[in-house]
A and B are shown apart, each in its own frame.
Chain A
């Protein structure tokens, strides 16, 4: 829909132009970034700890390899993760199970960061439906992940899209606020910049995520999805990690489906 709006505006105001500009950026406060995932598949699971960098910094982000990272579930299992370098920490024995709540504790220097996430029930991912439409002589594609939303309200879904095995660097989310308990017909939004052609292989990972994780990704989508005239005022999305760290700790189910554009 956004694509169509943009095109209509471009059609009317045929004189628009884009250029890259230099901006005076404010000083950045480098923060701890913790990104952790627990899934319903067999481990190991990983937690990555880095530090945020300046916007115009061109190298790899600084990593933290001397943290003490533990994960426990609400059934009494607990485990200290082993550092495997490059900011990554790995589990060995903890199992990701639907319905369990996982707590992550990371001790970095004198600071402690904690996060909690509950793995929601698996919602079966049936297939990817590809829709195509023509606007202004160009074919554009939309992807509808086909699944049946459970009757219970409050389901949140996140999707990871790959095109020809290359990760698409956008966030995709769906929820059941508009249409609860039925087969999904909503396509993934926020595809404006994607160039898709016949023969491309589309791989989609569906994740059932909890409320906090859902809100986190939804906020990210709103920030990047600035409509005509500008979107919402951006900010760091509300996350589930204490002590001001950036990032997210997510316990979720995963399933993958793929299809080829015909």
Chain B
């Protein structure tokens, strides 16, 4: 393994600082002054050099090697007051910084350094969302929701009203890698998609990378949604929570060891079912979900830190004895951060992720169960190496062991085989961020991924959906392996003080695939790994971007265009039921896809009024042999226009207001074109696949937040919301039905869900 890493390093031609001058390293961590939480992605600059700057990594660590001297350091982070300090560097220095957040809105924030990060970084298609920033965005039922906020970004589209599933740049829902403290979350939504599994109270921030991710990420084609949990306040104990229309939340945090170690535990549960049970008609109804997030970090010494984080979430939906179902994710992560030297930072992670789905129904005195499960164990090693101020090197490996157990019906009379399939998904990677000069930054990397089928099951090989042979792999045997090299590069060229141009290319591959019998994503959807028939999906994306800042960096404009080619895309034959098909692989069809588009994001980051306007113009198509007469057709997530406007107005320290407006073209769908009679039953005729459009959707949501005067430690606020403020009846689904009074007349019936939906939430903290 080590040899391979060095070979990769050589291949990349990483340039290490070879200057003769004596250099010293300043390194340390950056924290929030009040809570001690590490600040991710904060900027540290040396004002004496125009182009020497550095961002803190996921653990708030930074390292800079510069010649001996006296320097002015400036440390800044969005929403925090920046700090400027002189440091004399004549030996290697370990220095930690802490920043305090500027909640005081009246104050004019003086920034020593211009806020123009978007012009200097080579990263493309990346948006960071701070939970504090999204708190005032109006949402359905007043449930703060990270995923819903992400869906307001250009290039990210929700699967439908209220849905937490999303599509990035024409990708499918399963092509997003959703990570919670590095652990993959296989089903990131609750209650058939209306709520996300991320309880905002426990979340620090989230980053979405739309295809051009650095080499340390891999395994999904379209995006990485990297969600980080809070670490907990290591100075004081705090409790916070909220009571809302749908759910209540409670979070406790505090130090384990003063200023060294801390914990946070956060829970959320819905309670609609409790009201429902008051009515005798619904007393047997079960309908709820809960989330539990917990995290602790222990500082062993100045150089070593351990993190334990866990998540447990479950949905329960049932009706008496007749029908019951539950599903949920659980994840656990142990991480060990170690500062090996002032230039080398190491993170070792051991990750467990599990997704379970159970359904049972009782008919005619017989109980039938259907369950499925995914279990991952993952060992990851990541190094951050800071050879000189111009280069930041990331390299490491990831080993994942998957066990996938597909849906199978089971009951007393059913002897149905439920065999699990095991596989290994391994990768090694190296990535370098190289600041060539004042104007050019390059981020480049290489990921070598390998997926191997492990024994313990029989694998059928199909040619044109006809069985050609069966391969019995004994336990412990290794079957087919797929090896993929994934190069990634993005570059930033700063044209002038206010603008820059970016260019990127990335290849991503995906070895786990989601098969779904519905268009919206259901808990019953089935994950399947590569096999002898299913090859890794491959996506190649090129993107070109332009960033320009106006009015002293108050306004930020980012325009990005992309073109993406997808290989080995999967669909299945008509009439296939993924739950009952004897071997689903005999029913699969394969093909390719293409997606292209233009994204515009105009942001206002400071002042009383903040927010953004996002617009996407795009096209997404698929071509799969056996579907639509083998011709190209619109993918269901194809939408021409997508507009979102987000505005937050801070009127006074007490009152603030939020509004969002969205407009989008309807999804591509297949409506009937004709009809005929089939033994007395009117039957619909269909033409080209996905040739029609759902009606377009538009909606205005409003919110107001009232923050009460702080009394001692006690802080509280009220949030009011109005979802779909002008009561637009947006299409959720359209069904074609025969008119009851006029047989033979077929009508399109549209179902709309939410109109004028008010919400109120009370939040507290002490």
The distance in angstroms between the C-alpha atoms of A8 and B281, with both chains bound, is 12
Q: Mark B196-226, 1 if CB is under 8 A from A, else 0.
A: 0000000000000000000000000000000
B685 and A52 contact, CB distance less than 8 A = yes
A56 and B364 contact, CB distance less than 8 A = no
Q: Mark A223-258, 1 if CB is under 8 A from B, else 0.
A: 100111111111111100000001110000000000
Q: Please name all residues of chain A whose beta carbon is closer than 8 Å to the beta carbon of B670 when the two chains form the complex.
A: 233-235
Does B10 interact with chain A (Cβ within 8 Å)? no
A20 and B748 contact, CB distance less than 8 A = yes
Question: Smallest CB-CB separation from A160: which chain B residue?
Answer: B679
The distance in angstroms between the C-alpha atoms of A185 and B366, with both chains bound, is 7
Segment at the interface with A among B255-263, B453-461, B688-696: B688-696
- CB contacts under 8 Å to A, within B659-713, are 669-692, 695
A5, A135, A178: which contacts B416 (Cβ < 8 A)? A178
Main secondary structure of the interface of A (DSSP, over half): loop
Segment at the interface with A among B315-323, B466-474, B494-502, B640-648: B315-323
The distance in angstroms between the C-alpha atoms of A237 and B672, with both chains bound, is 13
Does B714 interact with chain A (Cβ within 8 Å)? no
Segment at the interface with B among A92-100, A114-122, A163-171: A163-171
Q: Please name all residues of chain B whose beta carbon is closer than 8 Å to the beta carbon of A223 when the two chains form the complex.
A: 684
The distance in angstroms between the C-alpha atoms of A171 and B682, with both chains bound, is 11
Size of interface on A: residues with Cβ below 8 Å to B? 86
Known: A178-B580, A226-B735. A33 touches B752 (CB 8 A): no
Does B420 interact with chain A (Cβ within 8 Å)? no
Does B738 interact with chain A (Cβ within 8 Å)? yes
Does B751 interact with chain A (Cβ within 8 Å)? yes
- CB contacts under 8 Å to A, within B140-188, are 160, 163
B193, B414, B742: which contacts A178 (Cβ < 8 A)? B414
Known: A12-B191, A18-B750, A28-B687. A23 touches B521 (CB 8 A): no
A20 and B747 contact, CB distance less than 8 A = yes
B673 and A55 contact, CB distance less than 8 A = yes
Does A22 interact with chain B (Cβ within 8 Å)? yes
Does A220 interact with chain B (Cβ within 8 Å)? yes
B755 and A17 contact, CB distance less than 8 A = yes
- CB contacts under 8 Å to B, within A1-36, are 1, 4-5, 8-9, 11-13, 15-31, 33, 35
A229 and B733 contact, CB distance less than 8 A = yes
Does A198 interact with chain B (Cβ within 8 Å)? no
A55 and B575 contact, CB distance less than 8 A = no
Question: Smallest CB-CB separation from A176: which chain B residue?
Answer: B580
Does A37 interact with chain B (Cβ within 8 Å)? yes
Question: Smallest CB-CB separation from B679: which chain A residue?
Answer: A35
Q: Please name all residues of chain B whose beta carbon is closer than 8 Å to the beta carbon of A54 when the two chains form the complex.
A: 673-675
Does A219 interact with chain B (Cβ within 8 Å)? yes
Does B757 interact with chain A (Cβ within 8 Å)? yes
A215 and B192 contact, CB distance less than 8 A = no
Does B574 interact with chain A (Cβ within 8 Å)? yes
Does B582 interact with chain A (Cβ within 8 Å)? yes
Known: A16-B752, A58-B744. A1 touches B361 (CB 8 A): yes
Does A61 interact with chain B (Cβ within 8 Å)? yes
Q: Please name all residues of chain B whose beta carbon is closer than 8 Å to the beta carbon of A29 when the two chains form the complex.
A: 673-674, 687
A53, A137, A144, A216: which contacts B676 (Cβ < 8 A)? A53
Question: Can you report 5 residue pairs joining A to B where beta carbons are below 8 Å apart?
Answer: A19-B750, A21-B731, A21-B734, A25-B673, A235-B689
A30-B674, A216-B575 are known; give 14 further A-B pairs, CB within 8 A: A8-B285, A17-B729, A21-B748, A27-B687, A48-B677, A55-B736, A58-B744, A131-B364, A144-B363, A144-B364, A178-B409, A219-B575, A229-B163, A230-B520
